[in-house]
A = this chain, B = another copy of it.
Amino acid sequence: MGNTFGTLFRISTWGESHGGGIGVVIDGCPPRLPISTEEIQFELDRRRPGQSEITTPRKESDSATIVSGVYEGLTLGTPIGIYVPNGDQRPSAYSEMKDKFRPSHADFTYQTKFGIRNHEGGGRSSARETIGRVAAGAIARKVLKLAGDIDIRAYITRVHDIEAPAIEHFPSLEEVEASPVRCPHPETAETMVERIKAMRSEGDSVGGLIECRVRNLPVGLGVPVFDRLEADLAKAMLSLPATKGFEIGSGFEGTRLRGSEHNDVYVNKDGKVGTATNRSGGVQGGISNGEELIFRVAFKPTATILQNQETVDKEGKATELMGRGRHDPCVVPRAVPIVEAMASLVLVDHWMRQKAQCDSFEF
């Protein structure tokens, strides 16, 4: 059951990194939504390997086909099937993985959990799995845009120890995409690119932080008590490969403040209730409060490094493994559209839940 996400706007992803392909089924999308393959492909291209000089040189076109649920450019309200065939597979690059467990990869846990594993690649633990999420997210994003003019923007704020100054404004897509590292602060972006290139030349890797903001959210999204908006966002983000943390608003640092410093007092903003500050990050009691939603996700350094590492084999015997293959020295830039996709999925689901329970009835 772990391959389905969402309650009303529900996606099921399938496919391994090495196999026929990758896909997603979207169940519950509102009917009559205009959507094109191009809109989906646009987001997939942002996630695609080989898109820039700092990503893996693997060439994967990741071309999406809509196989059901859309007719003459409009959604039918029935399940949308999207299919992306695999290509450019080099199983030989992975032959050692049959018997040895790669450090900080899922080889060992998959093998033990399932008693079997496709050793030709990362299987479901491969980042290729996120293709289905990004494709579905493109549709979710379109719903939110048309239904509420909602904008979702993620970007990198730190790579390794290179941190951008606080991004005060809501950056445009162009600002984010200006650099292959997707940091909207140009000088920092440049340094980040250099660091990533340096890591590649050393056969090493780095991680970083992604910040994501959402504007124009109505008040009321999020359901007490278990499906608080931040709870669903946290799950969405920690379900992504290589993530180690999630925080919203003031986050971990906010715990160093006093209540009198941390509280967001209410003010009247041009006739609407708002808050003077936004340490809450756009939620109160698990429900959106109309302010910008803002959260951050921590990505660990890529586990695959081109260095010799100790490990054990299937029999538990000590051995060594030399990292091979074509991998990203830093996955975080390519994770930016994935974070946006997951945020879109959470938000459209709560949008629909709010309509169903609260907005549709006038007794």
Contacts and interface: CB of A to CB of B under 8 A. Distances in A.
Contacts of A264: 103-104
A7 interface: yes
A150 interface: no
A259 to B, nearest CB: 3
* A interface, over-half SS: mixed
Given A25-B3, A143-B361, A219 B318 contact: no
Given A3-B225, A124-B225, A357-B352, A31 B114 contact: yes
Among A12, A32, A74, A263, max chain B CB count under 10 A is at A263
Interface residues of A, number: 161
B260 A69 contact: no
A347 to B, nearest CB: 14
Interface in A1-51: 1-5, 7-8, 10, 12-16, 19-23, 25, 27-34
Contacts of A310: 265-267, 276
Given A31-B361, A209-B255, A259-B305, 18 more contacts: A3-B25, A8-B356, A14-B79, A22-B68, A23-B67, A30-B361, A31-B114, A103-B264, A106-B286, A108-B266, A125-B225, A206-B258, A207-B254, A244-B254, A247-B298, A266-B311, A267-B312, A273-B316
